[in-house]
């Protein structure tokens, strides 16, 4: 239950509700949204990279929550996430993230693992399993383009 004293200007809200012929509860519901649910069957198209199917659940001015699917044996195109930090969780399958900082490196990530890709780190997603799809939950935090596809680990933009 909402405590009236915890709501700034409660008396003004009550007066507005009366003028509109609404209960205070209905008015509060309109201005204080509840929990949003993104059903898996209703996810929207996400930002594209060759080899990765992204489905978007939520997007605000500085965050995107999505899921990525990579088919068995697929190696995605090279890309980075601009100024965004990418935080991920492996739901099923195995992910290898290939990148080049000091030579070629591979991060091997398994179901139940979390990972972080810093802004502008060029990488590609690899599903090393030849008969199992990879499913990842992603949270991108930042502003600007969510995905920048490039031709190589050096980062030449396509």
Domains and CATH numbers, the chain: 1-34 (no CATH), 40-149 (2.60.120.10)
Strand 148-149: give its sheet, edge to edge: 104-109, 95-100, 123-126, 79-80, 148-149
pLDDT per residue as tens, the chain (158 positions):
455 555 556 677 677 767 776 665 665 666 667 788 899 999 999 888 999 999 999 998 899 999 999 999 999 999 999 999 999 999 999 999 999 888 899 999 999 999 999 999 999 999 999 999 999 999 999 999 999 999 998 866 65
pTM of the model: 0.77
How does DSSP classify residue 157?
Answer: B
């Amino acid at each position: 239950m909402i405590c009236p004293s915890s709501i700034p200007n409660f008396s003004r809200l009550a007066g507005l509700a009366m003028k509109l012929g609404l209960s205070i509860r209905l008015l509060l519901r309109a201005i204080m949204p509840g929990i949003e649910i993104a059903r898996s069957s209703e996810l929207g198209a996400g930002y594209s990279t060759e080899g990765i199917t992204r489905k978007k659940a939520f997007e605000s001015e500085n965050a995107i929550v999505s899921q990525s699917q990579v088919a068995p044996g697929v190696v995605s195109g090279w890309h980075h996430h601009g100024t965004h930090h990418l935080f991920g969780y492996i739901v099923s399958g195995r992910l290898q993230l290939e990148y080049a900082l000091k030579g070629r490196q591979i991060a091997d990530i398994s179901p139940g693992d979390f990972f972080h890709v810093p802004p502008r780190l060029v990488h590609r997603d690899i599903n090393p399993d030849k008969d199992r799809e990879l499913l990842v939950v992603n949270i991108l935090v930042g502003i600007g383009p969510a995905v920048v596809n490039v031709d190589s680990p050096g980062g030449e933009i396509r």
